[in-house]
Amino acid sequence: MINIFQNQKLFGCIVFACITLFWNSSAVGHGGKHQEESATAFKVLQEATVLYDKLLANGKLDPNWETGLVKVEISVQQAKAGNEFTVSFHRREGSPKTVNIFFSQAGKYTGSNFSGE
């Protein structure tokens, strides 16, 4: 059985980490915009969650991905065209254990897979 209080605590920790770790300095700065604005980790997490829900609703992911979800991670990798966000959803049981959803620096969906590459 899923402990709702524990899941709320997990969600709160994720939101706090996103805001704290990935604070977009341009939000507090001034000046002209010379390049495409970067997405925030929180915005990418929101988009990834919508896509994840669509995958579940369309049967692309089995129901265990919803009931067995234990962790969601956001990471940023340096890519040729700038930073790339990866949102990884981890489940308790089954194979594969992780589904990864990728976004460009601007927050546009670029792909998803189970390998993380």
Reported as a single tens digit per residue, the pLDDT across 73-94 is: 999 988 777 789 999 999 999 9
| Residue 104: predicted pLDDT | 93
Query: Domain range spanning residue 78?
Result: 4-21+37-113
Total domain count for the chain?
A: 1
- The predicted model scores a pTM of 0.67
Whether residue 9 lies inside any domain: the answer is yes
Task: State the Rg of the chain over Cα.
Answer: 15
Whether residue 31 lies inside any domain: the answer is no
pLDDT band with cut points at 50, 70 and 90 for residue 35: low
Whether residue 32 lies inside any domain: the answer is no
Position 22 pLDDT exceeds 60: no
Whether residue 28 lies inside any domain: the answer is no
Position 12 pLDDT exceeds 60: no
Whether residue 89 lies inside any domain: the answer is yes
Whether residue 26 lies inside any domain: the answer is no
Q: 101, 48 in Cβ contact below 8 A?
A: yes
